[in-house]
Amino acid sequence: MSTSVIWFGNDLRLVDNPAVNEALRRSDQVVPVYIHAPEEAAPWSPGAASRWWLHHSLQSLADDLGALGTSLVIRCGDSATVLRDVARASGARTVYWNYPIEPKLRQRDRRVVQTLTAASIRSVRCGGARLFEPGSILTAADTPYRMFTPFWNNCLKRGFGTPPAAKPSHWKHSEPALSTVPLEALELLAKTAWDAGLRGQWRPGEAGAHDCLERFCGQAALDYGDARDFPAKSATSRLSPHLHFGEISPRQVVARMHEYRAQQPSPAVTATVDSVLRQLGWREFAQHLLFHFPHTSEAVMNRRFAGFPWRRNNAHLSAWQRGQTGIPIIDAGMRELWHSGWMHNRVRMLVASFLSKNCGISWTEGARWFWDTLVDADLANNSLGWQWVAGTGADAAPYFRIFNPVSQAQKFDADGDYVRRWVPEITALPQAWLHQPWRAPIETQRASRCVIGVDYPAPIVDLTASRQRALATYRRHSAG
């Protein structure tokens, strides 16, 4: 009778999980294991919002495994040592897992393989978090792509491969029972009630991921093409945290999108499906870049910007983090982030541009804050997004693209529904001044109970002057 171990990481699902499928297919008994070792991912250990999500996702996985007649073994400590010990205690000869692309976790995996090999335990690493495995999409010269469009065109030519695998109908029960630590012992949840906003908006776990996808395949998907850039509207899929924690696979999303297009053939649905697939393509591209250029989570991709003279201004950084910059659309986004662990993608670009270009503060500071506060904090996506806005990455926005938060708010939040929700201080202002309250006449400010500098902060930077300063600095550095 053969026994194996399945090691869960950021792949907390049973459906279309390659490591799960292989372990169940090749073994008589399978031991499911999760190892809590945040120090192995340092300095990118999970932030507070991610820990909250992880707790509930692990609980969901444990419940799903329990329904199949087995138990999730939770351990803490060095992953290589724990896996070796669990394998020896259970009599397992093989350990299966889906390999990550994060640099620190790849280093960890090499240590795991060495330790298991020395103990005569076989390692089987599978794919699973991507549509295309790292290194499989290359240019004609066999070099990594640095531009998204040719990368994605190559992906589209190859197609999306096999359909997703079905959910296991049963689990080959593992014996003997192994010691485990209670989920609560991991202390993933904060001791204060700061997570009320997260609890009100999210349902972590595999079932929650599929519910999220099905909700999107309703009216939201029909509105996606016209409404996805408007932060006050619920027109985006909100699948990103579920994808990050592996509660749903990209192949499952692709399959559901194709099914959706077949069920409701129309130009609007076709446009939505193509747009969703393209967003998955950006996710693939981000992972492709981090795999080939692992330094880009902490250093610029474009070497021209190495040594760029970023400013150090703790007061401005703190005001940005707390949503107290005096720019309503920026403050709305940062408050939404703190409350819900999420921020609309359009607003993410605006707050990133404001910090890196108007404030002149390094994109790495923003990336760290997002890492701690986003429920979908993903190292590849986070690094790509911030470097794209800052103009320092692959396929980046040109340095002279500096988003104007006022004109962007007037375009994408014309009625002010978004800023009024998150910045109640300005609610009574007339529409003409809503997105630039500092320009309102003092009589209007008083009548609206929104006196700038008293009831709501004055802008921490002058948008016009800071834009000109950023352009001059980028221009000098690019020329040098």
Model pLDDT, residue 480: 55
Model pLDDT, residue 269: 85
Q: How confident is the chain (480 residues) per 10-residue block, as mean pLDDT?
A: 93 96 94 97 94 97 95 97 97 96 96 98 92 93 95 94 86 79 94 81 96 85 77 89 97 93 86 91 96 94 90 97 98 96 95 97 97 96 94 79 95 96 97 97 97 97 97 82
Domain residue spans of the chain: 1-128, 130-163+206-292, 303-479
Instruction: List the structure tokens of 178.
Output: 């192994």
CATH topology of domain 1-128: Rossmann fold (3.40.50)
Residues 27, 3: contact at Cβ < 8 Å?
yes
CATH homologous superfamily, domain 303-479: DNA Cyclobutane Dipyrimidine Photolyase, subunit A, domain 3 (1.10.579.10)
Residue 40 CA, chain-centre distance (Å), reads 19
All residues at 6 or more sequence positions from 90 whose CB lies less than 8 Å from its CB, including other chains: 3, 5, 29, 31, 174, 176, 178
Neighbours of 104 (CB within 10 A): 18
What digits encode the pLDDT tens for the residues 328-360? 999 999 999 999 999 999 999 999 999 999 999
Domain 130-163+206-292 carries which CATH code? 1.25.40.80
Model pLDDT, residue 10: 92
Model pLDDT, residue 127: 87
Dihedral of alpha carbons 154, 155, 158, 159, sign: negative
Model pLDDT, residue 452: 97
Q: What angle do CA 353, 355, 361 make, to 5 degrees?
A: 125
Through-space distance between the first and last CA atoms of the chain, rounded to whole angstroms: 67
Helical segments of 144-249, H only: 148-158, 196-201, 206-215, 221-227, 240-244
Model pLDDT, residue 395: 74
Going by C-alpha positions, the residue among 67, 74, 79, 68 that lies closest to residue 38 is: 79
